[in-house]
Structure 1
Amino acid sequence: MVAGPALADKRVALVIGNSAYENVVKLENPHNDAAAIAEMFRKAKFDQVELKRDLGVIEFKRALRDFYNTTRDADVAVVYYAGHGIEVGGVNYMVPVDAKLRSDYDAEDEAVALERIFRSIESTRRLRLVILDACRDNPFIRSMQRQIATRAVSQGLAKIEPMGTDTLVAYAAKAGSTAEDGAGRNSPFTQALVDNLTTPGLDIRIALGRVRDEVLRRTNNRQEPFVYGSLGGATVSLVPEPERVPVTATDPRGDYEMAERVGTVSAWDAFLAVHGTGFYAELARQQRAKLAAAVKPDAMAVAALDRTTPSRPLTDAERATPDRLAWEKLQDTSDPTAIRAFIKKYPASPLAVVAQARLEVIERAIADRKREEAEKQRQEADRQRQEREAARLREEDERRAKAAAAEEARRAKAAAEAEARAQREAARRREEDARIARLADAERAKAERDAAQRRAEEERQAKAAAEAERQRQEQERQREAARLRDEEEKRAKAAAEAEQKAQREAALRLEQDKERTRERSQEEIVRSAQIELRRIGCYEGDDNGVFNDATRRAMVAYRLGTAQRRSDKAPDAVDLLELQAQRPIKGCLAALGPDKGIDKPTEKPPVAERPSRDKKTKKDTATRREKPEPKREARPAPRREPPARAQATARPAPRAGGGAVMHGIGF
Structure 2
Amino acid sequence: MSWLRLNIRRPLSLLLVGVLFFAYSTNAQAPLDVRVALVIGNAAYKNVPALANATNDAKSMSSVLRKLGFNVIEVVDGDKAQMVKAIAQMQTLLQGKQAVGMLYFAGHGLQLDWRNYMVPVDAKLSQASDIATQTVDIENVIDTMKRSATRMNIIVLDACRDNPFSGKASGKGLAQLDAPPGTYLAFATSPGNVAEDGDESASNGLFTHYLLKELQRPARIEDLFKRVRLQVRQKSQGRQIPWDSSSLEDDFAFNDGVKHTFNPEDLIKEAQLAKEAQAQFQRAAQAAAEREKQIAQQIALEQQQLAEAQKIQNQNARLKAESEAKEREKQLALAAAQERQKAQAAALALERARAEEAQRIKDIELAKAQAAEQTRRNTLSREEAQAQQFAQEKSAWDKIKDTRNKADVYAFILQFPNGMLSELANTQLELLDKAQIKPQADKQGRIQEFAQRRYTQGETFEFIGKDGYTGLPKWNQSFTVLSVDDEGAEVQGTRTGGGTWKQRVSHAGLQSGDNSGKYDPPITFMPAGIVQVGYKWRARTTFTNARNNAQEWLEVAAKVVARETIEVPAGKFDTFKIEVAMQYQSGHRTQLTIWTDPAIGAGIRIKSESRPPRGSADITIRELTSIKRGS
Higher strand share: 2
Higher helix share: 1
Same fold (TM > 0.5): no
Q: Normalised by the size of structure 2, how large is the TM-score?
A: 0.36
* Structure having the higher Rg: 1
